[in-house]
A and B are shown apart, each in its own frame.
Chain A
Amino acid sequence: METSKTIMLELKEIYKSFGRVEVLKGISAQIAKGELLTFVGPSGCGKTTLLRIVGGFTSATAGRVILDGEDISNLPPNMRNTKMVFQSYALFPHLTVAKNVGFGLKLQKWSKKKIDARVEELLALVHLEGLGNRTIDRLSGGQQQRVALARALALEPKVLLLDEPLSNLDANLRMVMREEIRNIQERLQVTTIFVTHDQYEAMSISDRLLVLHEGVIQQIGSPIDIYERPANEFIAGFVGYVNFLEGRVDNTQADTHSLVIATEFGRLELDHTHPDIRPGDQVLMVIRPETVSLAPGDSSEATNTFQGIVQSQMYAGSLAKYTVKFGHKEMVIDHYNPMGSRKYGKKEKVKVIIPRNVHILKRQATT
Chain B
Amino acid sequence: MAERLMTAVVDRNWWYRLRAFINANLINFFAGGLFALLAIFLLYPIVSVLVFSLWGDHGFTLDFYAEFFEYNFYYWSLINTLILGSSTMILLVIIGFCFAYLTTRGPMWLRKPLKIIALLPLAAPPYIFSISLITLFGRNGLLNNLFQLNFNIYSWTGVITAQVLAFLPLSYMMIENVLNAVNPSLEESASDMGASEFRIMRSITIPLAAPGLLKAALLVFVMTIAEFGNPAILGGRLPFLAPDAYLMITGEADFNMASVLSVVLIAPCILIFILHNFFLSGKGYTTIVGKPTAAEPRPIDPAIKIPFLILCIPVAIMVLLSFGVIVFGSFVKIVGVDNTFVIDHILNTQSNIAIWNSFKVSLGAGLFGAVVGTLLAYVIMRGKFHGRKLMEMIALSGFALPGTVIGVGYIIAFNRPPFLLTGTIWIIILNCVFRFLAVGVEAGISKLHQISVEIEEASADLGADFLTIFLKVILPIMFSAFVAGFIYTFMTTMMSLSSVIFLVTPGYDLASVYIYLTAQLGELGLASATTIKVIAIVAVSMALLKVVARKTGLDVKKQGA
Contact (Cβ within 8 A) A78 B1: no
1/0 per residue, CB under 8 A from A, across B446-480: the answer is 00000110110111111111001000010011010
* Chain B residues near A57 (CB-CB < 8 A): 457, 460-461
* Chain B residues near A170 (CB-CB < 8 A): none
Q: Is A103 interfacial (CB-CB < 8 Å)?
A: yes
Contact (Cβ within 8 A) A107 B468: yes
* Chain B residues near A56 (CB-CB < 8 A): 461
Q: Which secondary structure dominates chain B's binding surface?
A: helix
* Chain A residues near B463 (CB-CB < 8 A): 78, 104, 107-108, 155
* Chain B residues near A108 (CB-CB < 8 A): 1, 463
Q: Which of the candidate stretches B2-10, B157-165, B350-358 sits at the interface with the other chain?
A: B2-10
Closest to A52 in B: B457
Q: Which secondary structure dominates chain A's binding surface?
A: loop
* Chain B residues near A83 (CB-CB < 8 A): 461-462
* Chain B residues near A154 (CB-CB < 8 A): 462
Tell me whether A77 and B477 are in contact in the complex, defined as CB-CB below 8 angstroms, given that A86-B454, A155-B1 are known contacts. Answer: no
How far apart are the CA atoms of A104 and B1 in the complex, in Å? Answer: 12
How many residues of A sit at the interface, in one of the four size bands? 20 to 34
* Chain B residues near A93 (CB-CB < 8 A): 451, 477
Contact (Cβ within 8 A) B460 A90: no
Q: Is A76 interfacial (CB-CB < 8 Å)?
A: yes
Tell me whether A155 and B477 are in contact in the complex, defined as CB-CB below 8 angstroms, given that A81-B1, A81-B2, A90-B455 are known contacts. Answer: no
Q: Is A151 interfacial (CB-CB < 8 Å)?
A: yes
Within 8 A of A (CB), among B413-472: 451-452, 454-455, 457-465, 468
How far apart are the CA atoms of A76 and B469 in the complex, in Å? Answer: 14
* Chain A residues near B5 (CB-CB < 8 A): 78-79, 81
Q: Which of B6, B452, B463, B473 has the most CB of A within 10 A?
A: B463
* Chain A residues near B1 (CB-CB < 8 A): 81, 108, 155-156
Contact (Cβ within 8 A) A94 B457: no
Q: Which of B460, B473, B476 has the most CB of A within 10 A?
A: B460
* Chain A residues near B458 (CB-CB < 8 A): 84, 86, 90-92, 151
* Chain B residues near A2 (CB-CB < 8 A): none
Tell me whether A90 and B457 are in contact in the complex, defined as CB-CB below 8 angstroms, given that A104-B462, A107-B463, A151-B462 are known contacts. Answer: yes
Contact (Cβ within 8 A) A77 B461: yes
* Chain B residues near A264 (CB-CB < 8 A): none
1/0 per residue, CB under 8 A from B, across A60-104: the answer is 000000011010000011111111101110111110000000011
Looking at the assembled complex, report how far the CB atom of A148 sits from the nearest CB atom of chain B, in whole angstroms: 8
Contact (Cβ within 8 A) B454 A92: no
Contact (Cβ within 8 A) B464 A107: yes
Within 8 A of B (CB), among A302-316: none
1/0 per residue, CB under 8 A from B, across A131-174: the answer is 00000000000000000000110111010000000000000000
How far apart are the CA atoms of A156 and B463 in the complex, in Å? Answer: 13
Q: Looking at the complex, which one of B2, B451, B457, B468 makes contact with A70 (CB distance below 8 Å)? A: B2
Q: Looking at the complex, which one of A78, A80, A92 makes contact with B465 (CB distance below 8 Å)? A: A78
Tell me whether A155 and B462 are in contact in the complex, defined as CB-CB below 8 angstroms, given that A79-B6, A93-B451 are known contacts. Answer: yes
Q: Looking at the complex, which one of B455, B460, B477 makes contact with A78 (CB distance below 8 Å)? A: B460
How far apart are the CA atoms of A104 and B451 in the complex, in Å? Answer: 19
Contact (Cβ within 8 A) A90 B452: yes
Looking at the assembled complex, report how far the CB atom of B8 sits from the nearest CB atom of chain A, in whole angstroms: 8
How far apart are the CA atoms of A79 and B462 in the complex, in Å? Answer: 9
How far apart are the CA atoms of A151 and B459 in the complex, in Å? Answer: 11
Tell me whether A84 and B452 are in contact in the complex, defined as CB-CB below 8 angstroms, given that A92-B473, A93-B477, A107-B468 are known contacts. Answer: no
How far apart are the CA atoms of A110 and B130 in the complex, in Å? Answer: 65
Contact (Cβ within 8 A) B476 A77: no
Q: Is A55 interfacial (CB-CB < 8 Å)?
A: yes
Tell me whether A103 and B2 are in contact in the complex, defined as CB-CB below 8 angstroms, given that A57-B457, A93-B477, A94-B477 are known contacts. Answer: no
8 further interface pairs, Cβ-Cβ under 8 Å (given A90-B454, A155-B462): A57-B460, A79-B5, A79-B9, A84-B461, A93-B451, A93-B477, A107-B462, A107-B468
4 cross-chain pairs, A with B, having the tightest CB-CB distances, nearest first? A104-B462, A90-B458, A90-B454, A86-B454
